[in-house]
A and B are shown apart, each in its own frame.
Chain A
Amino acid sequence: MTQATPKLLCRDVWKVFGPRAAERLAALGPDPDAAALQAAGLVPAVRGATLAVGAGEIFVIMGLSGSGKSTLVRCMSRLVEPSAGEILFNGQNLLAASDAEMIEIRRHKMGMVFQHFALLPHLSVLENVAFPLAVQGVARGVREARAREMVALVGLSGREGAFPRELSGGQQQRVGIARSLAVEPELWFLDEPFSALDPLIRREMQDEFIRLQSVLKKTIVFITHDFDEAIRLADRIAIMKDGAIVQMGTPEEIVLRPATDYVREFTRAVPKAKVVRVGSIMIAGPAAADLPAVAAGAAVADVAPRFLDGATALRVVDAAGATVGLLRQVDVVRLMLGGEPG
């Protein structure tokens, strides 16, 4: 999953709020606990976050309100200055970058989508989408052509001349997405992009997002407080609580092996069969060649109907078609009834 050099690497990132925060944090030594921080008059927002995001990966940060997700992602783009730690983007230390370098990086390599859209009210849809390019001084003709492409990409063709207040929430966020993509960023931040939308629209926007990513293959840091959304979209998930990352892994790993009770609480309502892949609960080894074949990468829920024909086991094959294991009906039933896999 994570390649040799990850696109983005956070190493032991801390962010505490309070007067002279960085100094006081340093004085407390490595890994101070909550009581020590409070005694020093500091409010911790992010505590020792370490993570790596690989190129082309959708990395989701999940946690309840106030758990520090926004602060962490704002550290990654240096919208807030981390109190301690290291952030490497393409191997370059962002915390050592000058203001001018940061402006260049943000202009050309980063894009961000905001929870409440952050559209400029005085600009039309087209001008909003072209805004990042206008800031760079790109000529009007060029930037508007590019903006038109982006508007078409998010399915808003024909609304270029509208103003934000004339659009619905979902449409506004499409504009926000188009705008963040206008500069062709390498790294794409989305901070709870769909939280302000109602459930039906949210679902639709998630599908749209999946479609876009299948075309664009960006490196994505996606924030949400909605575990279902995380499961749906993520290649990998980091779960935050009180500023610290409590577990990190693929949706499947998290659903199958929650690290703490806190995480288990989230996974409880998730239909596991939809997340867990056949490969995870098969018995590795040979299988009779006459059994029906299923792919190791498929979700268990998708292959379960095959047992309706009366089979008690299925043959699992990898992408190349070679047999890799055996999927037993009992294991599937146990998973679907909510038990931990044997």
Chain B
Amino acid sequence: MNPPAPLPRRGAPWAVALVAALALWLIWMLAPLLPGWASDWPKAAIVPAARWIGATVKWLTNEAALGPVAFSDLTRAIAALIDAPYRIVLSALSTGFLDGRGSTARMILPPFAWVAVVGVFALLGHRFGGWRLALLQILCLGFVAVFGQWESAMVTLASILVAVPLGVAGGVLIGIAAWRRAWIDRAIAPVLDLMQTMPVFAYLVPILILFGFGPTAAVVATLIYAMPPMTRITTLALRRVAPEIQDLGRMVGCTERQMVWRVLVPAAREALMVGVNQVIMLSLNMVIIASMIGAGGLGFDVLAALRRLDFGAGLEAGFAIVALAIALDRLSQAAAHGPAAPGAGRSYTLAALALVIGAGVAGLMLPGVQSYPEALRLSTGAFWSDAMAWINVNYFDTLEAIKNAALVHLLVPVKRFMLGLPWLGVAVGLGLLGWRLGGARLGVLAGVLTALIAATGQWEKAMTTVYLCGVSTLVAMALGVPLGIAVAGREALWRPVRAVIDTLQTLPSFVYLMPAVMLFRVGDFTAMLAVVAYAVAPAIRYTVLGLQGVDPRLIEAGRAMGCTPAQILTRIRLRLAFPEILLGLNQTIMFALSMLVITALVGTRDLGQEVYIALTKADPGRGLVAGLAVAFIAIVADRLIQAGARGARARLGLGAGGGA
């Protein structure tokens, strides 16, 4: 190990944490002594950012123009560009090709038969992953058909099929531009940061206003949501192409264009395909959420069921989402690692074509081939509703007692404490912490962002968000870290746990709300449960990764010195894994924040609710300002923890790498 590098102005993590906690308590105690403006930002001085943004968006939609081209023409053009392929895909998958409109419409061509769609997915599965993957595809899509979710699923799939190619193409193009020109890279980096930390609802509002309610707006939202990671991955992947390959391109005399498209992009294919997988999964997540602005499909079914508290229907749609997510995820992952049989693409294409046409013709005679027969559908909706009713009748008191205990002993006290914190104290405190951990710049960033939240009049709501996020993160870490410790180093345990959290992470966040609401109805406790369920995965994963990364020779040395297993765990393994666990904490917080906003649907009173209200009232200013506040919270937490992790790594002499 390297000798610990001297780190001026940076303290040990525990000392910093202790001092921070003390300071926080002190701030709270002193709050009543502070002048009023230091605890509550004076009403008169609130920056009317929401109004400004609202006015700007209104101006954009009504008046803005570049020469003869009005801004609204531009949005209309984009809408048309997306609408055309969307109509085609939707016709092919769901509605069929129609002549005429409304009730007089006549079907020229029916949509693809359900058998054909399942078959094409199975073919794709076979091409990229052999028989096992083909079978999985059949099971997943068959599940969707059997449980009567086919129509909705195809609407969702249509949005994804349009959004993914556009998102990938856009991400790759911007990524290439950023790779080529350093100034573009510098210019888009903060934008990407913001877009990835901004809660999804926040930009649904302006999109709703610019593009209207409907699937087009939903696809735009999905694109915006899914493009940043593709951009990032593209730039990184191109940078990682071996320098020799670049030299080769230049030595054979490639032009700049040939270099990108014939050398670098193909050489980076595997990494880029990981990006494609991400785009697909993020698109699915977003298409579900975007049902609020008219995406329709499975997301709409879940949302509608949630609103009428029809848990059976909601769960069924939720399961269909899970099935679709698993099918798409496994397929794109397999595709990323290359086809099982390279170069056999043509025969698969022919087989798929034959299947679609054959099934279409057969469907004319046998309706069961065209659409899954009504009579064979299973519905578990009633079963789930009954089960819920039964649980609620028999265990109502128990559930209620659990909920109340959590509220009284954990949630309410923390909430009261957090809401009592004066904004000035917190801003100064975070500023100082940032300065200790990462220098003056970080300190200023943390302080200013915190003050900005107060200055836009959102202090109380923000602190509610922080409280819910904080408690959920705490619980997630309290569950995840011990679990991680228990399974790390035991491959037989870790493998199934990893399979479960891998699958959990592919599920759209919407799905997590269902069971929590069913058992505990709306409120903070329900929100916390959903958030914990969503955010516990990174806590486990990073703990395991951190512990597995510890140099076995050091453990050996510890054993040789006569450490007990407990000492080895606390003195060596956990200490060395600490930076990685910190990064896990960071990820947990990011996951918690993104889920928290969605729990606004179950009646929290935080920034998420603010965004959600703005969405229902179509108030872009209010939505964006609240969204930015969430982004600020995320950025402050992220930068502070990253700086802490860097400091810890340096102190342990682990070098600069690490983390996701």
Also in contact, A110 and B267, with CB within 8 A (given A120-B245, A135-B262, A163-B342)? no
Query: What does the 1/0 interface line of A93-119 toward B look like (CB < 8 Å)?
Result: 000000000011011101110111110
Chain A interface size, as a band, is 20 to 34
Does B80 lie at the interface of the complex (its beta carbon under 8 Å from any beta carbon of A)? no
Output the least CB separation between A329 and chain B (Å).
51
Q: Is the CB of B251 within 8 A of A112?
A: yes
Within 8 A of B (CB), among A70-128: 74, 77, 79, 103-104, 106-108, 110-112, 114-118, 120-124
CB distance from A127 to the nearest CB of B (A): 11
| B244 touching A115, Cβ below 8 Å | yes
- In the complex, chain A residues 146-180 whose Cβ is within 8 Å of any chain B Cβ: 161, 163
The answer to whether B266 touches A74, judged by C-beta atoms less than 8 angstroms apart, is no
**Interface-lining segment among B103-111, B252-260, B306-314, B411-419:** B252-260
Q: Complex Cα distance A52/B245, Å?
A: 28
Q: Does B364 interact with chain A (Cβ within 8 Å)? A: no
B351 at the interface (CB under 8 A from A): no
A116–B254 Cα distance when bound, in Å, is: 20
Does A112 contact B248, Cβ atoms closer than 8 Å?
yes
CA separation between A111 and B342, bound complex, in Å? 29
> CB distance B269 to A79 under 8 Å?
no
Question: Chain B's nearest CB lies how many Å from the CB of A104?
Answer: 7
A44 to chain B, nearest CB (A): 20
Q: Is A312 an interface residue (CB 8 A)?
A: no
Task: A189 to B248: give the CA distance in the assembly, Å.
Answer: 12
In B616-644, the 8 Å CB interface with A consists of none
Q: Given the complex, which residues of B lie within 8 Å of A124, measured CB to CB?
A: 343
The A-contacting residues of B in range 240-289, CB under 8 angstroms, are 242, 244-245, 247-248, 250-255, 258, 262-263, 266-267, 269
Interface residue? A132 (CB, 8 A)? yes
A65, CB-defined interface residue at 8 Å = no
- Expressed in whole angstroms, the minimum distance between the Cβ of B241 and any Cβ of chain A is 10
Please state if B253 and A114 are interface contacts (CB–CB under 8 Å). Answer: no
Q: How far apart are the CA atoms of A171 and B253 in the complex, in Å?
A: 24
The verdict on A114 contacting B247 (CB below 8 Å), with A122-B269, A135-B262 known, is yes
Distance between B331 CB and nearest chain A CB, rounded to angstroms = 20
Q: Which residues of A contact B242 (CB under 8 A)?
A: 116, 118
Of all chain B residues, the one with the shortest Cβ separation from A133 is B252
**Minimal Cβ-Cβ distance residue in B for A116:** B244
Residues in chain B near residue A163, CB distance under 8 A: 342
Chain B binding surface SS class: helix
* Pair A106/B250 contact, Cβ less than 8 Å: yes
Pick the most buried of A74, A120, A134, A136: most chain B CB atoms within 10 A of its CB: A120
Which residues in B have their C-beta under 8 angstroms from that of A123? Answer: 266
Per-residue CB proximity of B61-83 to A under 8 Å, as 1/0?
Answer: 00000000000000000000000
User: Which residues of A from 227 to 272 have beta carbons under 8 Å from B?
Assistant: none
Nearest A-chain residue to B249, judged by Cβ: A135
B266 touches A120 (CB 8 A): yes
Partner of B244, one of A106, A114, A183: A114
In the bound complex, residues from chain A placing their C-beta under 8 Å from that of B342 are 163
Nearest residue in B to A124 (C-beta to C-beta)?
B343
Give A103 Cβ to nearest chain B Cβ, in Å: 4
**If A107-B253, A132-B253, A136-B253 touch, does A121 touch B248 (CB 8 Å cutoff)?**
no
**Looking across the interface, which residue of chain B has its beta carbon closest to that of A80?**
B247
Query: Are A118 and B247 in contact, CB atoms less than 8 angstroms apart?
Result: yes
Interface centre among A103, A104, A123 (most CB of B within 10 A): A103
Q: Are A118 and B248 in contact (CB under 8 A)?
A: yes
Tell me if A112 and B247 are in contact (CB < 8 A): yes
Q: Residue A59 at the B interface, CB < 8 A?
A: no
A123 to B342, CA, bound (A): 11
B382 to chain A, nearest CB (A): 52
User: Least Cβ distance of A306 to chain B in Å?
Assistant: 48
- Chain B nearest Cβ from A136, distance in angstroms: 7
In the bound complex, CA of A136 to CA of B245 (Å):
18
Kindly provide the distance from the CB of A16 to the nearest chain B CB, expressed in whole angstroms: 19
Would B251 and A77 count as touching, CB distance under 8 A?
yes
Interface residue? A194 (CB, 8 A):
no
Chain A residues with CB below 8 A from B251, complex form: 77, 79, 106, 110-112, 189
How far is A79 from B254 in the complex, measured between Cα atoms in Å? 12
B253 touches A121 (CB 8 A): no
Residues of A within 8 A of B252 (CB): 106-107, 131-132, 135, 183
Chain A residues whose C-beta falls within 8 Å of the C-beta of B245 in the assembled complex: 118, 120
In the complex, which residue of chain A has the Cβ closest to the Cβ of B265? Answer: A122
In the assembly, what is the distance between CA of A189 and CA of B245, in Å? 15
Cα(A186)–Cα(B253), bound, Å = 15
- Which of the residues A115, A135, A161 comes within 8 Å of B253, measured between beta carbons? A135
Q: Closest approach, in angstroms, between the C-beta of A128 and any C-beta of chain B?
A: 10
Contact between chains at B267 and A106 (CB < 8 Å) = no
With contacts A116-B242, A135-B258, A163-B342 known, is A74 near B247, CB below 8 A? Answer: yes
In the complex, chain B residues whose CB is within 8 Å of the CB of A131:
252, 262
Q: Could you tell me if B262 and A79 are in contact, using CB atoms closer than 8 angstroms?
A: no
Check B247–A121 contact: CB distance below 8 A: no
Name the CB-closest residue of B to A70. Answer: B247
Closest chain A residue to B248, Cβ basis:
A118
A173 CB, min distance to chain B CBs, angstroms: 13
A108 to B338, CA, bound (A): 34
Report the separation of the CA atoms of residues A283 and B257 in the bound assembly, to the nearest whole angstrom.
63
Contacts of A110 in B (CB 8 A): 251
Contact at A118–B244, with CB atoms within 8 Å?
A: yes
**Distance A103 CA – B256 CA, assembled complex (angstroms):** 11
Which residues of the partner chain A approach B262 to less than 8 Å between Cβ atoms? 131, 134-135
The residue in chain A whose Cβ has the minimal distance to the Cβ of B244 is A118
Q: How far is the CA of A108 from the CA of B244 in the complex (A)?
A: 20
B344 to chain A, nearest CB (A): 12
**B248 proximity list for chain A (CB < 8 A):** 112, 114, 118, 120
Cβ distance A117 to chain B, nearest Cβ, rounded Å: 8
Q: How far is the CB of B128 from chain A (nearest CB, A)?
A: 15
How distant is the Cα of A170 from the Cα of B253 in the complex, in angstroms?
25
Of residues 57 through 77 on chain A, the ones whose CB sits less than 8 Å from some CB of chain B are 74, 77
Given the complex, which residues of A lie within 8 Å of B247, measured CB to CB? Answer: 74, 79, 112, 114, 118
Do A121 and B255 form a contact, CB below 8 Å, given A106-B250, A115-B244?
no
Distance between B584 CB and nearest chain A CB, rounded to angstroms:
33
**Chain B nearest Cβ from A110, distance in angstroms:** 7
B-side contacts of A189, CB under 8 Å: 251
Contact (Cβ within 8 A) B250 A79: yes
B255: which A residues are within 8 A, CB to CB?
A: 103
CB distance from B339 to the nearest CB of A (A): 11
CB proximity of A6 to chain B, nearest CB, Å: 21
A87 to chain B, nearest CB (A): 15
B109: min CB distance to chain A, Å: 36
Given A118-B247, A135-B258: A104 touches B253 (CB 8 Å cut-off): yes
Q: A74-B247, A114-B248, A116-B244 are in contact. Are A122 and B253 (CB under 8 A)?
A: no
Cβ contact within 8 Å between A106 and B263: no
Measured CA separation A104–B254 after assembly (Å): 10
Cα–Cα distance between A104 and B262 once the two chains are bound (Å): 18
Q: Is the CB of A121 within 8 A of B267?
A: yes
Q: Smallest Cβ distance from B150 to chain A, in angstroms?
A: 36
Give Cα A123–Cα B250 distance, bound, in whole angstroms.
18
Alpha-carbon distance between A77 and B266 when the two chains are bound, in angstroms: 25
A106–B251 Cα distance when bound, in Å, is 6
Cβ–Cβ contact B269 & A121, under 8 A: yes
Shortest distance in angstroms between B482's beta carbon and chain A's nearest beta carbon? 42
- Select A120's contact among B250, B253, B267, beta carbons within 8 Å: B267
How far, in whole Å, are A131 and B248 apart by their CA atoms in the complex? 10
Q: Which 7 A-B pairs have the closest CB atoms?
A: A107-B253, A132-B252, A118-B244, A118-B248, A106-B253, A112-B251, A122-B266
Give 14 CB contacts A-B under 8 Å: A74-B247, A77-B251, A106-B252, A106-B253, A114-B247, A116-B242, A116-B244, A120-B245, A121-B266, A124-B343, A135-B262, A136-B253, A161-B343, A189-B251
Task: Given contacts A114-B248, A115-B244, A131-B262, list 4 more A-B pairs with CB under 8 A.
Answer: A114-B244, A116-B242, A135-B252, A135-B254
Residues of B at the A interface (CB closer than 8 Å) are 242, 244-245, 247-248, 250-255, 258, 262-263, 266-267, 269, 342-343
